Chain A
Amino acid sequence: MLLAFDTASPTVTVALHDGSDVVASATATTAMKHGEQLAPLIEQVLASAGARPADLTAIAVGAGPGPFTGLRVGLVTARTMGHVLGIAVHGVCSLDALAIEAVETGAVDGDFLVATDARRKEVYLASYDGRGVRTSEPVVDRPAALATDRPVVGEGAALYPDAFPAGREPLRPDAAWLARAVAAERVALLAPEPLYLRRPDAEIPQAPKAVLSDVAPTP
């Protein structure tokens, strides 16, 4: 059994695939709170399918790009479970799951793009062919710099309609489609490493500020 989950968007989503189709899935009703919601949702999905952790044979996890804090919750959960259970852990670009869903639900016809919210007034974006195969590495940039009239799937288009006038659903990754995409071998399997695409914000401090006024007191 394949356990799939994604935490690279504000929505935590979990699904279980038995080799022929998705047998259970759950999506958090509250946005964010990835650290609180992921483990109980996994437990719930396993229970509703009558499965135990020992029944799992592989894990697929959304590797982003997406907001870092949530992304890490998914990746560390996948890596830890994979380690305990001794099973393979596959990373999947989170935009790919959206692309497969868009193709399979008929939301797109021909080449298209996927854009998700990168915060700080930027989007993550990658391009796909009509079968949902990714044709570019994901990038992060301002919507204006990536603007296009082509069809764009994902929340990035919904947030910035001026840059992406042909936006459409689905908006956020759904683990059921992530599971199907992996089971059908329709997406590239990556190491479960986060696709950060940005360096950490950190500044090297200046020399200590002077604390004295003009006249130095006697030490």
Chain B
Amino acid sequence: MIPDEPLVLGIETSCDETGVGIVRGHTLLADAVASSVDQHARFGGVVPEVASRAHLEAMVPTIQRACDTAGIALSDVDAIAVTHGPGLAGALLVGVASAKALALSLGKPIYGVNHLAAHVAVDQLEHGALPEPCLALLVSGGHSSLLRVTDITGTDRGVDPMGATIDDAAGEAFDKVARLLGLPFPGGPHIDRVAREGNQVAIDFPRGLTSRRDLERHRFDFSFSGLKTAVARWVEARERSGEPVPVADVAASFQEAVCDVLVRKALDAAATEGIEDLMIGGGVAANSRLRAMAEERATKLGIRVRVPRPGLCTDNGAMVAALGSTMVARGRTPSSLDLPADSSLPVTDVLAV
């Protein structure tokens, strides 16, 4: 750790996690997260108003916890970074307002950053400076994107979308299939766990947007809605025929279909662009099968795979701080104090003006 690297505090409140991270350069000092996930479980999805209320209650205690863990005083911080989009509007606003209050009270610059780019930047905390260019596959309950990253701070279209989901996000499909199988919310970790006992080739579920015709128009796009329906039909048919549903086999076969499409398209994109580094981030990157499959297939193509540890893949403040730290290091102009929360912020807008 170089002592004069910037000390940055990052705030993330785009969904149901109140995250406050503190980094110095590429070194992670604290990653405090308060989650309201338990309050949403019985609704089968995140309820925006419930999430916003929880952010307000958790905000200051989480800032305090991050400072305690990092062993720093707030006055030591060189800059504040905050997710200003995309995400749930009311939830984002709590973090943005708190970040502004910090910047204003401390007299320090604020960087309003893009949540998706932060998911990519977080890898620097684990594997050091991001290779640029790299190809980023971001998969979570809210997003499924393939990004060509030539400058993670976004200059000159440095974060360029090559493809995205045309319907459900990958994580959403995990949640819906989990519910169908009677597994708890959020579905990802439960499917992953149950799938280990199952046979991934037991059922041949469809791979969305992989037919020759689809590839012409949607070569790097994803679709998980048809897969979700196929799983629902299969399970329902079983139930109607009075046979037990082989939960582990369904989970494993579904997971295999999702991972197969994600990895296949990501590697196709990397090969097409001549990019040798693939970064996988977002909550679904915590999936053990996705990691294993990506490693295995990428190695054969001479492509290196970088996946942060699961705790850094889900939404957190450290990823925001990591991107903020890069903004400071590259001398980017801080955002204005009137920066908005933008629920539909495009991925190409990495830093708010």
Taking beta carbons and an 8 Å cutoff, which residues of A are in contact with B? 33-40, 42-43, 53, 68-69, 72-73, 75-81, 83-85, 194, 196, 200-205, 208, 210-212, 216-219
Q: Tell me which residues across on chain B come within 8 A of A43, comparing CB atoms.
A: 104, 337
Q: Is residue B353 contacting chain A, with contact meaning CB distance below 8 A?
A: no
Q: Is B107's CB under 8 angstroms from A53's CB?
A: yes
Q: With a 10 A CB-CB cut-off, give which of A79, A194, A205 has the most chain B CB atoms.
A: A79
Which residues from chain B contact A208 at a C-beta distance below 8 Å?
Answer: 179-180, 232
Q: Are B238 and A219 within 8 A (Cβ)?
A: yes
Contact B94 A72 (CB under 8 A): yes
CB pair A69 B93 closer than 8 Å: yes
Is chain B's binding surface mostly helix, strand, loop or mixed? helix
B334 nearest CB across to chain A (Å): 13
Q: Which of B53, B60, B105, B233 has the most CB of A within 10 A?
A: B105
Please tell me the number of chain B residues within 8 Å of chain A, measured between CB atoms.
48
Contacts of B236 in A (CB 8 A): 210-212, 216
From known contacts A76-B98, A201-B49, infer whether A212 and B240 are also in contact, taking CB-CB under 8 Å.
yes
**Are B101 and A84 in touch, CB under 8 angstroms?**
yes
Closest Cβ–Cβ distance, residue A198 to chain B (whole Å): 9
**Residues on B close to A: CB < 8 A?**
42-45, 47, 49-50, 52-53, 55-56, 59-60, 63-64, 74, 89-90, 93-94, 96-98, 100-107, 179-180, 203, 229, 232-234, 236-238, 240-241, 337-341
Other than A80-B63, A84-B102, A200-B53, give 4 A-B pairs with Cβ distance below 8 A. Answer: A72-B94, A73-B94, A75-B56, A219-B203
Q: Write out the residue numbers on chain A whose beta carbons fall within 8 Å of the beta carbon of B93.
A: 34-35, 69, 72-73
Return the 8 tightest CB-CB contacts between A and B, nearest first.
Answer: A80-B101, A200-B49, A39-B100, A84-B105, A202-B47, A35-B93, A216-B237, A73-B97
| B234 and A205 contacting across the interface, CB-CB below 8 Å | no
Contact of A53 with B340 in the complex, beta carbons under 8 Å: no
Q: In the bound complex, do residue A216 and residue B240 qualify as a contact, i.e. CB atoms below 8 Å apart?
A: yes
What's the nearest-Cβ distance from chain A to residue B59, in Å?
A: 5
Q: Report the nearest B residue to A211, measured CB to CB.
A: B232
Contact A205 B44 (CB under 8 A): yes
Q: In the bound complex, do residue B338 and residue A37 qualify as a contact, i.e. CB atoms below 8 Å apart?
A: yes
- Contact call A212/B237, Cβ cutoff below 8 A: yes
Task: Determine how close the nearest CB of chain B comes to the CB of A215; give it in whole angstroms.
Answer: 10
